[in-house]
Chains A and B, each alone.
Chain A
Amino acid sequence: MGNTISSRRRVINAVMLSLSGLCTLLVIGVLFFILGYLMFHGLKSLNLAFFTKLPKPAGETGGGMANAIVGSGKIILLATCIGVPIGFLAGVFLAEYSGKTFAFLIRYTVDLLNGVPSIVIGIFAYAMVVKPMKHFSALAGGVALGIMMIPIAVRTTEEFLRAVPNPLREGAMALGATKARTIFTIVIPAAISGLTSGMMLNLARVAGETAPLLFTALGNMFWSRGWSQPTATLPVMIYNYAISPDEDLHQQAWAAGFVLLTLVLVINVTARLVINRGPAAARR
């Protein structure tokens, strides 16, 4: 009677368990394949001109994407200036002030906004900014990405503020601080590392967005001055170059893809490491 588990069941067990392991390996393999391939092709096509020169007119080889790098930076900066303050303060409201019903409504709306496909946000920014101004602009692109940043900013702020222990608030109040003073001098500083990491993740997410920029910032082969001109961005350049038939442009697209992915992954890894080590993670 020692052999209670039949060999058939044992085989099924072993086979299924290894299959699931194999699937995991396959998924992870895709990541390393993407990284490896981009690294290989991107580094091969990357040179100093990529960072310092303007794109060359069609037919000529060489050139770079300096204007797109600056353009991406400008638009992300603007998006951060729009999305982070609104999202952060709304998150503070949810965590510290709001009652139940209203908070539920806000949270629900924020989730809804988070689920809206980025291309639809692009249409919205087009209708709000491009149509009244009558031309594509960096401003419109920044507004589109800024709106995309709000939901995650709200949720990370709420989550990290809630993770701050209540005795901290009570201590501050007992010393006579007003509620606002408690929040802004005690609670937020206590959560600051998580908050900044969350915002960095948020930034990394919109840095790679392409769809909402297609018909807001559009693109530009030259430098764009100010905020009201069409502006080139890295993701849109990658898209335009990848679908063009020109082999030289494909190389540039790989280089741009490499730069973009490196930026996004570096931010992601650092921010996640900070969050995982922070006090909020320890309390979970």
Chain B
Amino acid sequence: MASSTYIANIPRRSGVRVLYDRLRGGDEIAYLVTLACAVATLLIVALLVGELWINSQPTVKTFGWHFLTSSRWDPNSGNFGALPFIYGTCVTSFLALLIAIPLGVAASVFLAEMAPPKLSNILTFLIELLAAVPSVIYGLLGIFILVPLIRDYLVPVLTKLFGYLPIFSGDFYGVSFLSAGMVLAIMVVPFIVSVSREVLLAVPTDQREAALALGATKWETTWQIVIPNALTGIFGSIFLALARALGETMAVTMVIGNTPKITASLLSPGYSIAAVIANEFAEASGDLYVSSLMFLGLVLFGLTIIINAVARILILTTQKRGA
């Protein structure tokens, strides 16, 4: 500290006085204020977890682990089970990934390996704009465009070809797991594309040149050399997308149908964790009801935290190896 050189010249100053001078210098104040803000972020997260935990205690005490495995959700009789929502969240997210992974990885391969850098930058810019579109707008388009399209074109084909499979059986009303999964797919593709492209670009150029020199075609180089090299990072991008899909609320709420049922058919309406919180929280009456929704929030929080952590680790490993 700069002030310590002066302390030798002016002896016998009290501790309070020293502190006052240092504070007046501004350095310590700036340090303390920024430190306080950094600590505040820690506190907010701690408080968030704490609030969710304390407020969900009535449910934990009443139902215990049974809450997570019971499929009965009946606020009128005071029965709360989370399984239909957990099921819906998992099914829609899985469906979204099923569509988004091939699309996103293929697009990122094109952007990283084939497109000229200038074109690639412009296209990536546009795709990243897709990630900035608010989710309520995806929901709006989902209700009025995607659902009619699915009903008129996709479902007739699916039931005709695969109607004997339980996942495509039953009547279709428009709102369904399938619709929610497809809206989610569109929403998470940008995340897969932009992260996968980064990790593909981080693969050293020598690797590509060596493969090409051995006579491999561009595709063979990409498929056998570049992608395996970047695979961990691509998985990272997929987990990132999964975390997004799990926590996505508005778009899913608008097209999933909001029916707490577990059915094998993707064509029937369902419910998800985020959707039930969005729909019922404001009107929930009674401690147990509110606390059950809070507990669902805690479950969702836990899920996304774990998936996000995995994603981050995977992406970091690849980027370190590439550098």
Identify A115's interface contact among B144, B217, B243, CB under 8 A.
Answer: B243
B102 to chain A, nearest CB (A): 7
A94 touches B38 (CB 8 A): yes
B225 at the interface (CB under 8 A from A): no
B27 at the interface (CB under 8 A from A): yes
B25 at the interface (CB under 8 A from A): yes
A147 touches B44 (CB 8 A): yes
B223 touches A16 (CB 8 A): yes
* Per-residue contact bits, chain A 13-57, to B (CB 8 Å; 1 contact, 0 not): 100110111111011101100100110000000000000000000
A127 at the interface (CB under 8 A from B): yes
Residues of A contacting B26 with CB < 8 Å?
Answer: 178, 180-181
A177 to chain B, nearest CB (A): 10
Given known A111-B308, A260-B134, contact A37–B145 (CB-CB < 8 A): yes
In this complex, what residue of A is CB-closest to B303?
A117
**Cα of A181 to Cα of B253 in the assembled complex, Å:** 50
Identify A179's interface contact among B27, B128, B134, B305, CB under 8 A.
Answer: B27
Which residues between 77 and 134 of chain A lie within 8 Å of chain B, taking CB atoms?
85-90, 92-94, 96-98, 102, 105-106, 109-113, 115-124, 126-128
In this complex, what residue of B is CB-closest to A92?
B34
Residues of B contacting A150 with CB < 8 Å?
Answer: 41, 44
Count of chain B residues with a beta carbon within 8 Å of a chain A beta carbon: 84
B254 touches A239 (CB 8 A): yes
B109 at the interface (CB under 8 A from A): yes
B297 touches A123 (CB 8 A): yes
Q: Determine which residue in B132, B218, B277 has the highest number of CB atoms from chain A within 10 A of its CB, and name it.
A: B132
A274 at the interface (CB under 8 A from B): no
A98 touches B219 (CB 8 A): no
Residues of B contacting A126 with CB < 8 Å?
Answer: 281
**Cα of A111 to Cα of B305 in the assembled complex, Å:** 9
**Cα of A235 to Cα of B304 in the assembled complex, Å:** 24
**Cα of A128 to Cα of B41 in the assembled complex, Å:** 15
Given known A123-B294, A261-B137, contact A184–B30 (CB-CB < 8 A): yes
B217 touches A9 (CB 8 A): yes
**Cα of A126 to Cα of B30 in the assembled complex, Å:** 32
A117 touches B42 (CB 8 A): no
Count of chain A residues with a beta carbon within 8 Å of a chain B beta carbon: 92
A89 touches B37 (CB 8 A): yes
Task: Mark the stretch among A60-68, A164-172, A189-197, A200-208 that contacts chain B.
Answer: A200-208
A147 to chain B, nearest CB (A): 6
Residues of A contacting B31 with CB < 8 Å?
Answer: 97, 179-180
In this complex, what residue of A is CB-closest to B282?
A215
Identify B110's interface contact among A13, A24, A123, A178, CB under 8 A.
Answer: A24
**Cα of A116 to Cα of B51 in the assembled complex, Å:** 14
A109 touches B144 (CB 8 A): no
B217 touches A109 (CB 8 A): no
Identify B217's interface contact among A10, A38, A123, CB under 8 A.
Answer: A10
A24 to chain B, nearest CB (A): 4
Given known A113-B41, A208-B136, contact A23–B110 (CB-CB < 8 A): yes
A264 at the interface (CB under 8 A from B): yes
B229 at the interface (CB under 8 A from A): no
**Cα of A23 to Cα of B50 in the assembled complex, Å:** 44
Residues of A within 8 A of B (CB): 4-5, 9-10, 12-13, 16-17, 19-24, 26-28, 30-31, 34, 37-38, 85-90, 92-94, 96-98, 102, 105-106, 109-113, 115-124, 126-128, 136, 147, 150-151, 154, 178-181, 183-184, 204-205, 207-211, 214-215, 218, 235, 238-239, 242-243, 250, 253-254, 257, 260-261, 264-265, 268-269, 272
**The 3 nearest A-B residue pairs measured at CB:** A208-B134, A117-B247, A180-B30
**8 intermolecular pairs with C-beta atoms under 8 Å apart:** A21-B114, A34-B130, A89-B37, A123-B297, A211-B278, A239-B136, A260-B134, A268-B129
Given contacts A180-B26, A180-B27, A238-B136, 16 further A-B contacts (CB under 8 A): A13-B218, A20-B106, A23-B103, A24-B106, A24-B115, A38-B137, A102-B38, A106-B42, A112-B305, A115-B243, A115-B304, A115-B305, A215-B282, A218-B282, A235-B136, A261-B133
